[in-house]
Amino acid sequence: MKDSPLASAQVTPTQANGGHSAIEDLLRGLRQSDRLAHAELCARFGAALFGYAAARLGGDEERAEEVMVRTLVDAIRNIGLYNPARSSLAAWLYGIARRHIQTQRRQQSRRKTVPPSARVSLESMGEIADIDDLENGVAARLEARRKVARIATLLSDLEMEVLLLRYADGLSVKEVAGIVGRSEKAVDSLLHRAKQRAQKGVTESAE
């Protein structure tokens, strides 16, 4: 990631949910259309939402950014509808993102383009700040993505999604259940199966 005044504020969704009063302040600011609150929302959730969207869209960063921006815009337009008693802010945002992703996937399935996984993102290489780490960092990332791609072939779409939300985005089981519209018990069992198969994938990839 390139340097940005907000880069230091980059946090995982769990961290982004933050303390109760911090979230309340953020919500108050969003309801008043405060620019600083917008920036804070962007900083807290933008990258995480992008990561989730990109993973669900097969690495299509262009569309992932579109999903992320639309999610944030929708969130500030509809902040009046958000009810903290029903879900965490992160779960609510991921819910919005999920609907945009589904739309993008439907559109994607109708288009005939080069698969996003076949494209090379030079920008992602630029995210490595230290030139010495470039080679190792890129190699490690490519290796990780290869493994994830292998895991994805073994898991159902829903299993892959809950796996990403739970472990890559660090959301709680309750939040994941809220996002995918399943009971916590169902998500637990999905995760259990997903982990078993993912381990198998990781082992196979290592061999």
Partner 1 sequence: MPNEQREEELTEILKRARYHPPSGWQERALELMARARPARRGSNLQALAVAAGAIIALLALGLFPYSPGFSLGTFGRALAAQQAVAEGALAERPVGHNKREASPADVSARQSATKDILGLGPYRQRARSFAQTHYPGDAAMLMAAGLLVEDADTGRRLLREAAETGRKPAAWAAYAGRLMETAAQYDRIGISGADPEDAEAMAEMERRVRNSGLPAKLSQHEVAPVLQAFRDWEAAEPKNAMPLALEVYYLYGLHRDAEALATWQRAASLPRVTDYNQERAQAVARLLSAMGMREREAASAATFSSDLLLYVYLRSCARIATYEGRLAQMNHNPEEAIRLWNATMGFGRRMQDSADAVIGFLVGVAVESIGAGPTWKWGADRSSGIPRGPLGGFRYFYGPQHGFYVSQVGELADSRVRDSLIRARVRASLLQNLVSERMDAGLVKPGLLLGLSGLTIGLLAALLVVFAAISIRFRRQADEATELRVGAQLTILVFAFIPVCAGIAAYWPLWDLQRGPALLRALLGGYLFTFLAMLLLPLLAARFSRLPSARLAAAWRGNLRRILPLAVASLAIAALALGIAGKNMERKWAREWYAPGYSEMKSLISLAGPAWTNPKIPADAWRAEYPPR
Can you give the binding site for partner 1, defined by CB under 8 A? 1-2, 4, 6, 33, 35, 38-39, 41-43, 46-47, 50-51, 54-55, 59, 61, 64-65, 68-69, 72-73, 76-81, 99, 121, 123-124, 126-127, 140-141, 144-145, 147-148, 158, 163-164, 167-168, 180-183, 185-186, 189-190, 195, 198-199, 202
- To partner 1, the closest distance from the beta carbon of 73 in angstroms equals 5
Buried b / exposed e along 142-172 (16+ C-beta atoms within 10 A): eeeeebbeebbebbeeebbbbbbbbeebbbb
Closest alpha carbon to 167 in 145, 143, 194: 194
Q: Evaluate whether 61 touches 102 at the Cβ level (below 8 Å).
A: no
- To partner 1, the closest distance from the beta carbon of 123 in angstroms equals 4
- To partner 1, the closest distance from the beta carbon of 38 in angstroms equals 5
What's the CA gap between 47 and 93, in Å, rounded? 12
Closest CB to partner 1 among 20 and 34? Answer: 34
